[in-house]
Structure 1
């Protein structure tokens, strides 16, 4: 799954699957894993679904291996109205059973047999009805242009909303799916349709081929008046002998917009097959553009589902959507091997799915579209994860699961981006070819089965001929949270240049965490020689170490994270920082990103003041690479928003920003040029948004307002002329227009959004609505977000606005607490972990931290995952306040 997303001791590995979820006695309701004395062997799923209705019916038949004598078994089912349970024994004897929902919040149910049965193969048949879900979980209902559709999203634990079953990744079985649907509807599922028969008047029944063994969370189907378009066939390879059919699935009238993504897909599949040495195993491949969706995309084998704006592309689509489409498609298709073919045994190892798909997606993108610079995306993603990983409340990569909330909040930057960065770091340590050898062995050994972290680490260690120290180093990043902080000191001794290394845990100002932590870190250092630079590497697995820098010049300078392969931050002495800053332009793009992150880390650690940070970051703004150019913006924006308290200080920062970026903005211009690189389009968009909305440079706001006014002008047909603005800048242009014109602009967007089906245009209008910067207008936009005219998956786009100032956050807080029940009712339990950040994100005072705690603490029992979201949002608020108190605003003017 791809989330739209902007962590203890090594013994945790041993206890995470033991003490946290030990086998539950037969007479107690399971609080975690279901007991293993009843194991599903196969499913037959039959559904009768009409998207126009509010409910559907289903019959689930499960063959179950009953491994011990019992008079009942446990399984999962949520909001299911079961009318009949039939139990067929191995002898052929059939009798009724009883279904009882016993843990309503968790969705755990019990089936009573009526008598004690001996161990045998049972067949359970469960007939039920259920509502089409309204919160994008299980089997849910959506609409496009007023027309209803039904589709599924089962991950992580939402299959129980769609059908009764053993809703855990460790239970993999084949599925036979049949769908009875209205005669004029279309349906797709994980596998090819193999039959169609007439049902009662106005209905038909579609039957699909049996699936490969899957966990419940990968079962997928969709019903409605879908457009189905053929893509290019994916030709055979050395690892797959048959041609693979490819199709695009979209809401009625939208199928023609899928040709771009379909044309890119064969190259992705071929690249993955060649890497893994294992052919795509699922028979057919459909990519579905969902009208509304809770995630970015979902890797269901044979039927991969996406937010529609990732697949529905036109020649003038924003560059971020075109690039995002390829990256997310590569991510989901990478899952077909890591996640679908080989599946985690339990949710503490979700990184085996998501970190690997993120890491592999970047490898695919670098091969097929090297101009997209996925190597820089990996580093930017890792650095984003480090911000969260610096919290004492952060998750581990391999996080023990203590309840459903831990499962639902596991899909975060730690799992995805940190996990991918750690994989990349150890790939760099053993070498790409060796790592690939280990991955191929891992896939072959566990195909269509389940795995744990030790299976993967063991496969890589075996391929690399590495022993316990390597495994210990790898596991040190999996089984404890935090970011290593590597500090260096140069010494000349006996004619040698020696670099002293030390490590502890990076903790920002105000943290109450314990910095005494050690990892096994592959540390690689670039340093100056008389004729250039060299790189030296060492596995630092103690608190202190040394490295001899052979042939180092005198004096030399050091870059302590060569090629930015390492997941760590670094700190230098003041003199060594000066030497590195002097040579920053000679560093690679990847190293310049690591430099920017460690400057920001030093600022947040209290080692640098605002003036120091601004001076050290300024050289990066003159770079030629987009990602490097914009790297300083987050640090500068924090100083501007939280530290500058006088007009003079604000003017100084705006002057810094204007000098650094305005010439580049003017050079790019405000319209996409014919044939320009998409990197220029992305840079234009990033600079325009930052300069106009964060720093409010008049020149940029004026240019964007002109486009915003043109977009808000009505055409002859009464619709807004949204095509009048540059497609990459439309969202920012509408945001400026709302801020400058107020209610008339806001009302125009509120009127237009329900009439617009194009997802890119809807996203731009949502950006405009979220920019309302007075309490009354912001409240009007937020009220609109609760209406059915805004899709469930779009609501947060509006609510995420208005976090920039204390007054704006206060207004949001009062609105949110007054509408809390309505927000929860729309978003459902899966969004629980994000609710505290939605309400209180961006806070920077103890008062904001306290009110967040006071409000959410009594509500934690009602919304799963909110406890972790509260802990992290509160800690971020406290740390912001501590950094603000630590810094001297006068330093800005130095």
Structure 2
């Protein structure tokens, strides 16, 4: 934990005698973390911002503790035009200083003092101007219905675009923020506004209360003609004595749509306070709906920012948006404790922020909205992470940071979903009350400071009275990449049923990775007994081992991941897997998802063929639980898109899907029913997409086309009648209309999008455009993605469409490589890790991997994060090709 050091006054004696201390050489440029001998103690940030302008100005004053003699120090700044730097020593003497951009692309800056200064407290003052960023980083500019707004996104390393500072998570200090803005604008920041004063004609200055210690990446503010909506104050709790002010912040004219999320928020806050035993620690809570945003949401303390569609909810909003709103809000508010109150010390422990927020969100959702089935979201999230974690090019949860690209690409399924699954696995192993006790201690011990993985593991181990075996088991999932693959075999030994175990690393067919790897796996198995089933758990931390299944019935069956709490995959003999399949009705929903993943994993491993997979997964399609019923679609869609080669094979697969899902689609109907469960609304949407846009059943497409045509009709005011389609199906309906009606539909949607501010309707239109399948129209849509009428955060929705077939991928490749510079110019370095996938993702042949590597050979180094993205996209392409070659498409017809 980095402690704040109190300011001190340098005495004459210290100034004299300190001269013996050596000054570091000026060639000591940091290529990673900044040196610790200069530490910020506080910031005063003054910004003058008019969103209608292209630039802003700022004054930054930083109190710095210099702990060794030096003639310079290092900090961060990027694209800042610094006009003046003043350094004042502890005696009040000013020193000439110089701002030197040493590594502009990384934002590393040296401040030269003009002479050696001894250890003391310094005050650094900067006057500067900078452009309002156009790529959703730092302090950036967006618009809504023609009105400009300026707002921030500092995480992970974009605060340096907004002000000079020590842009690392380990440096936590208080901040004082002042905003000078036009009289007719509204300003909001992390803390409460405490003062407003005039600042010249047409300007006002807003002063906000001093923050508690924060890293630079959590500083947040916004300027614009915002609607500010007062929510009900959140009542005091056992852990918080004062009521909490709650507000919604939205673009002008949208504030009335914040009522839903404001109504849900108090229950989230109270649930989090009860779990952590620690009251919400900031002086107010604003939820801001951003007109454009690079992430899903951001946990800035006191001013949490979101993509607008997550907060702007109407009575007829899609169930997908309503659920998403609650889940993401719970995630970001969980961060107020894990991430904000306690912050990672360095980016290799990003999981301490994101995995905990993901894991805690699922707890909150399960308590407040059990019908949302967050327990199944946890399992599905872990399984999705396992797909990426099966690559040799995957990351560790605690990935060493070698450059900015490693920081920017750490926000992925490994950090979020794998991390959350590992937490849940060890929570299940020690028990929920014990784990909670450890978490409460961890928060209290490190509040308003920094922490590491060891701090967390030590707190849990102490609460659980566990020793080094437990700690090493936990660390085995943090410090090495990959998914454990547990092979099981039932046997009879001395009259007892024994489950023999061996573990290795799971690698898909065609992988060139090394399987020799061992974890400390908290392994729980369910097996059949005379009275039903039983669960047995052990810590499996060797390459081989065994478990005695006490009370197992004769000819028992076994599920090697009871309750689906484990982050591992299991392998069984084909007959044993078949026996388990016959017990589907005895498994709970989460366990049925574990079974589906085992089938898919065996297929990707090359142990099952496509016919085996379809037969093994078919029983799940009749489940009444949405998440279980659609679990087979991942495997089915891969087979349909990559393996089927003839019309007969595709027809056979379409018949499989029709038999499995059309009766349910017909039962649900094509319009939302009054008071129906939101799970039905979500299932209707998934099945419509699958049956109409993947296997293209004529009867489903006909129903959706009716809605698409109705939505594309013009009203008296000349606008499209988008409300004519079911709100859950409008994206699918417009997609079918685009495919069936062609250019008139595409032209109509492209004309309508700039006139539409509603984010849900914009998303639906983008969904429709992305499904264009005529070559000329797909090119028109991709060209439109580069138009400023499409927000930066919306571009990917259009550019990732149209890649199901090799012909489509070739066309997408040709367009993307031709327009590569324009894509990079609009998206910037923040999206660098996703850039190779955006250009050439979805491939399934060696030559597609080869051309991707050739194109990015020199380019990947020029965009931060692109090298990792290139490695993973290429590997996934090669593995897809290998599995296609391994499989025999003829089995589809048997």
Corresponding residue of 1:373: 373
- The reply to whether residue 343 of structure 1 matches residue 343 of structure 2 is yes
CA contact (8 A) 1:331 1:358 kept: yes
Question: Within 1, Cα distance between the matches of 2:776 and 2:183?
Answer: 49
Tell me, what secondary structure is at the counterpart of 1:727? coil
Question: Within 2, Cα distance between the matches of 1:91 and 1:319?
Answer: 62
Corresponding residue of 1:636: 636
Cα offset, 1:25, TM superposition:
6.4
CA contact (8 A) 1:593 1:631 kept: yes
Corresponding residue of 1:584: 584
CA offset digits 1:21-75 (Å, max 9, x no partner): xx99652221110111110000000000000000000000000001111111110
Question: Within 1, Cα distance between the matches of 2:100 and 2:367?
Answer: 53
1:480/1:768 Cα in 2 relative to 1: closer, same or farther (>3 Å)?
A: same
CA contact (8 A) 2:24 2:69 kept: no
CA offset digits 1:397-440 (Å, max 9, x no partner): 00000000000000000000000000000000000000000000
CA offset digits 1:768-812 (Å, max 9, x no partner): 111111221111001011001000000111001011000000000
Corresponding residue of 1:546: 546
User: Deviating runs (4+, > 4 A) in structure 1?
Assistant: 23-26
Corresponding residue of 1:751: 751
Question: Within 2, Cα distance between the matches of 1:679 and 1:413?
Answer: 24
Corresponding residue of 1:41: 41
CA contact (8 A) 2:484 2:519 kept: yes
Corresponding residue of 2:17: none
Corresponding residue of 1:20: none
Larger CA deviation: 26-35 vs 548-557: 26-35
Question: Within 1, Cα distance between the matches of 2:151 and 2:617?
Answer: 48
Question: Within 2, Cα distance between the matches of 1:838 and 1:85?
Answer: 41
Corresponding residue of 2:527: 527
Tell me, what secondary structure is at the counterpart of 2:241? coil
CA contact (8 A) 1:233 1:243 kept: yes
Corresponding residue of 1:192: 192
CA offset digits 1:837-863 (Å, max 9, x no partner): 111111000010000000012101210
Corresponding residue of 1:616: 616
Corresponding residue of 1:216: 216
1:859/1:704 Cα in 2 relative to 1: closer, same or farther (>3 Å)?
A: same
CA contact (8 A) 2:134 2:140 kept: yes
Tell me, what secondary structure is at the counterpart of 1:891? helix
- The reply to whether residue 245 of structure 1 matches residue 245 of structure 2 is yes
Tell me, what secondary structure is at the counterpart of 2:222? strand
Corresponding residue of 1:13: none
1:357/1:25 Cα in 2 relative to 1: closer, same or farther (>3 Å)?
A: farther
CA contact (8 A) 1:24 1:34 kept: no
Corresponding residue of 2:839: 839
Q: TM-score, normalised on structure 1? A: 0.97
Question: Within 2, Cα distance between the matches of 1:564 and 1:733?
Answer: 36
Cα offset, 1:96, TM superposition:
2.7
Matches within 5 A, 1:736-815: 736-815=736-815
Tell me, what secondary structure is at the counterpart of 1:553? coil
1:678/1:25 Cα in 2 relative to 1: closer, same or farther (>3 Å)?
A: farther
CA offset digits 1:728-775 (Å, max 9, x no partner): 000010001001111110000000000000000000000011111122
Across the aligned residues of Structure 1 and Structure 2, the Cα RMSD in angstroms comes to 0.8
Question: Within 1, Cα distance between the matches of 2:24 and 2:249?
Answer: 43
Matches within 5 A, 1:138-287: 138-287=138-287
- The reply to whether residue 726 of structure 1 matches residue 726 of structure 2 is yes
Question: Within 2, Cα distance between the matches of 1:130 and 1:675?
Answer: 52
CA offset digits 1:227-268 (Å, max 9, x no partner): 000011101111100000000000000000000000000000
Tell me, what secondary structure is at the counterpart of 2:715? coil
Question: Within 2, Cα distance between the matches of 1:651 and 1:779?
Answer: 29
CA offset digits 1:482-528 (Å, max 9, x no partner): 01111110011221111101110000011000000000001111000
Question: Within 1, Cα distance between the matches of 2:436 and 2:692?
Answer: 45
Matches within 5 A, 1:328-367: 328-367=328-367
CA contact (8 A) 1:781 1:798 kept: yes
Question: Within 2, Cα distance between the matches of 1:28 and 1:134?
Answer: 33
CA offset digits 1:681-700 (Å, max 9, x no partner): 00000010011111111111
CA offset digits 1:806-851 (Å, max 9, x no partner): 0000000000001000000000101000011111111000010000
Matches within 5 A, 1:408-487: 408-487=408-487
Question: Within 2, Cα distance between the matches of 1:201 and 1:124?
Answer: 30
Q: TM-score, normalised on structure 2? A: 0.97
Question: Within 2, Cα distance between the matches of 1:414 and 1:341?
Answer: 23
Corresponding residue of 2:856: 856
Question: Within 2, Cα distance between the matches of 1:732 and 1:25?
Answer: 62
CA contact (8 A) 1:178 1:207 kept: yes
Larger CA deviation: 579-588 vs 258-267: 579-588
CA offset digits 1:520-550 (Å, max 9, x no partner): 0011110000110000111110011111111
Question: Within 1, Cα distance between the matches of 2:492 and 2:65?
Answer: 70
Question: Within 1, Cα distance between the matches of 2:690 and 2:466?
Answer: 47
Tell me, what secondary structure is at the counterpart of 1:737? helix
Corresponding residue of 1:683: 683
Matches within 5 A, 1:25-174: 27-174=27-174
Provide structure 2 residue ranges, at least 5 long, that are not aligned to the other structure: 1-22
Tell me, what secondary structure is at the counterpart of 1:134? coil
- The reply to whether residue 489 of structure 1 matches residue 489 of structure 2 is yes
Question: Within 2, Cα distance between the matches of 1:91 and 1:439?
Answer: 44
Matches within 5 A, 1:660-675: 660-675=660-675
Cα offset, 1:578, TM superposition:
1.4
Question: Within 2, Cα distance between the matches of 1:60 and 1:574?
Answer: 66
CA contact (8 A) 1:366 1:372 kept: yes
CA contact (8 A) 2:24 2:70 kept: no
Larger CA deviation: 149-158 vs 765-774: 765-774
- The reply to whether residue 515 of structure 1 matches residue 476 of structure 2 is no
Question: Within 1, Cα distance between the matches of 2:572 and 2:117?
Answer: 69
Question: Within 1, Cα distance between the matches of 2:788 and 2:347?
Answer: 33
Question: Within 2, Cα distance between the matches of 1:417 and 1:697?
Answer: 34
Corresponding residue of 1:17: none
Report the number of matched residues. 872
Corresponding residue of 1:569: 569
Corresponding residue of 2:877: 877
CA contact (8 A) 1:212 1:448 kept: yes
CA contact (8 A) 1:24 1:30 kept: no
Tell me, what secondary structure is at the counterpart of 2:508? coil
- The reply to whether residue 890 of structure 1 matches residue 885 of structure 2 is no
Question: Within 1, Cα distance between the matches of 2:671 and 2:402?
Answer: 51
Corresponding residue of 1:506: 506
Question: Within 2, Cα distance between the matches of 1:683 and 1:414?
Answer: 27
Corresponding residue of 1:716: 716
Corresponding residue of 1:559: 559
Provide structure 1 residue ranges, at least 5 long, that are not aligned to the other structure: 1-22
CA contact (8 A) 1:84 1:96 kept: no
Larger CA deviation: 484-493 vs 135-144: 484-493
CA offset digits 1:312-365 (Å, max 9, x no partner): 000000000000000000000000000000000000000000000000000000
Cα offset, 1:293, TM superposition:
0.1
Cα offset, 1:892, TM superposition:
1.0
Question: Within 2, Cα distance between the matches of 1:733 and 1:235?
Answer: 44
CA contact (8 A) 1:769 1:798 kept: yes
